[in-house]
Amino acid sequence: MPKLALLAAGVLSLTGIAAVAQTVEDPYLWLEEIESARALDQVKAWNKATEELLATDPKLASYESRARAILDDEQQIAAPDSVMGDLVANLWRDANHKRGIWRVSPLAAYRAGAPEWRTVIDVDALGKAEGKSWVWHGADCLAPAYTRCLVSLSPGGTDADVVREFDLGTGTFVDGGFTIPESKNSVAWVDADTLLVVGDFGPDSLTASGYGRIAKLWKRGTSLASAPTVLEGVKTDVAVNPYARQDGDRRWTFLDRGKDFYTSEVSLLAANGTVVRTPLPEDASFEDVIGGRLIAKLQSPLGTIPEGSVVAYSLADIEAGRPAAPELVMAPSKSQAIEEVAASDNVLWVKALDDVSGKLFALRRGADGTWAQTAIPLAANSTVHLLETAGATDTAFVTVEGMLMPPALYAVTPTGAPTLVQSLPAKFDAATMTVDQRFATSKDGTRIPYFLVRKKGVSGAVPTLIHAYGGFRAAQTPTYLTGQPYRAGPLGMFLVEEGNAYVLANIRGGGEYGPEWHKSVLRENRQKSFDDLHAVAEDLIRTGVTARGKVGISGRSNGGVLVGAALTQRPDLYSAVISGSPLHDMKRYSQLLAGASWVAEYGDPDVPADWAFLSKYSPYQQLKPGVKYPAVFFYSSTKDDRVHPGHARKMAARLDEYGNRFYFHEYLEGGHSVGADHAEDAHRAALLMAYLKRELGASK
């Protein structure tokens, strides 16, 4: 009988563990063999034990059924994936279309809230016809005609994909058209007969992170192998990526040589075919093009222009080799962070966070070179996402939502009130709940915001789940409580409905307050983000929201580093830990899949000085025998080719070795997003709710 998180007697032993121990330091390297028989046998045994244990929850099936109904509900926001002239494109997934249908509607009908959809590609049907487990990775249609598209499809949901040319008019793949074989491709249209392609071109064509480092200019009718190289990065770069923007009648094409995760050299492919380096600072981020100007966001001060500002450069000057000075477009206030930027034909749209609440601005450039901004009236204290823009009409499509407010889609213009395009009905009774923004004080005195949701009238300490991320400039904004698959679907809703509390913590490392909020916890300063999480947990205990023995934490991907460190540092504080697609072995992370691309965030474990600070918190190395740790729930995907599934496997194995309970669920498909479809996402939400009930007593 397995012990895995667990049954009262017995221990789930590792398959042949004594026979496969490879080193004293790490006897579990064999679990890094992603699809070896022995590793998968172990994964299947852990999966089975977890499924059998949690199947005893009498409400498991009802949680899964309700989660599936929410995720498959046809009353979803049909978010625009792209606006292509007078068409809007959308990928739609529901119960009958697990992998989705790519469809288009006339823009006017879509904007009026009565879209007239035409299915272009049925991903499920295509996969069945071709004998492939296709997962949609998007389509790039060439402006301004938008008749030819580059469709990206991934086998099983990995980051690697196949790119195929598609004719939007006929609804068929182009016979003899552009086709790029499976790899972590990056491609952009230069014109109807020319592509910029980065991919796997054979030996020595990839970076240490596993991405392409060579950009080729591929002409129709020639072989990709013979295409000339226009830019070449080095092995230690993260990647080279091409992209293009349509600006009126001119198509501007760029090449980005990513030197590390946060610095890059951005170059322009000039009309004469030469590659011209732009004056963009290496740590700035390219955002868009409007009116012949390159728009970028600064991560560091530039002269008198403060960090976090949006700036513009003349593309004509760059192409001609003339000096191009930056002009200020918008500078954030002290409480703001500029998060999203997109251009329509004549308007630059900027979404900012103000104490983690969304604000939207429309900016126009005057003849004197100054940019005037107009604030768009949207719901206060909400989360705003800038989705797409419609060029000629200078329209932006945005969603507005809150933890207790269902998402609504609006079409906005620089003048006039926003027009409601679509709103969703409530999925739960928000009148019975409250949401508050609070602030905890971290160890160094920094105020850390967090959002708390619970039922009205709740008295006394209740089980509480804190979700956090804390890295890569990714702000965590409060979304509707049914959540997203990234946050385990409607898990938060289940918790609050049953009298518990759900918390979203805005710890440092994200982008909630601009560049410094992120930079302050890079590399040797990572401990500050862990301290922030501890501070939120302790604040919830101090204020009586919860109590020791009732605090759970959740983190995914980079959040796995966070919750892994929290687990090992404060096993006294946390009683449940959800670790999704996690990084845990910081000694080997840079050698596994895309790990080398994150050295700028964490440090390089192969450099002794860096390992000195990494080793102080690396979760896998910090586990100690004789310590009772909370029972962790690991979830991941075998097909994750970004964060290696070996991180979760080895962490589980070591916990087991030291006599600790754990839960484990590894999907065989799905990639880094874990669930390949809504069925898997719903099942995970149900399992996690059953887990929290066992470990925190999170039930009525």
As a whole number of Å, the CA-based R_g of the chain is 25
567 SS3 class: helix
How many residues would you count in the chain?
700
CA–CA gap between residue 164 and residue 192 (Å, rounded): 14
Q: Under 8 Å CB-to-CB from 599, ≥6 apart: which residues? A: 260, 261, 590
Q: In angstroms, how far is CA 533 from the centroid of its own chain?
A: 20
Q: At 411, give phi and psi (nearest 5°).
A: -105, 125
CA–CA gap between residue 538 and residue 464 (Å, rounded): 12
Q: At 49, give phi and psi (nearest 5°).
A: -65, -40
CA–CA gap between residue 554 and residue 560 (Å, rounded): 8
458 SS3 class: coil
563 SS3 class: helix
CA–CA gap between residue 330 and residue 308 (Å, rounded): 9
226 is catalytic: no
CA–CA gap between residue 580 and residue 648 (Å, rounded): 8
- Give which of 407, 413, 464, 616 is closest to 527, Cα–Cα: 616
Using CA of residue 126, residue 130, residue 136, residue 140, what is the dihedral sign? negative
H or E segment and range at residue 322: none
Catalytic residue among 534, 584, 647, 672: 672
Q: What is the DSSP secondary structure assignment for residue 591, as one 8-state letter? A: G
Catalytic residue among 82, 357, 557, 636: 557
557 is catalytic: yes
Q: What angle do CA 660, 662, 667 make, to 5 degrees?
A: 150
Question: How many Cβ atoms are within 10 Å of 554's Cβ, its own excluded?
Answer: 28
Contact 589, 583 (CB under 8 A): yes
Catalytic residues: 557, 672
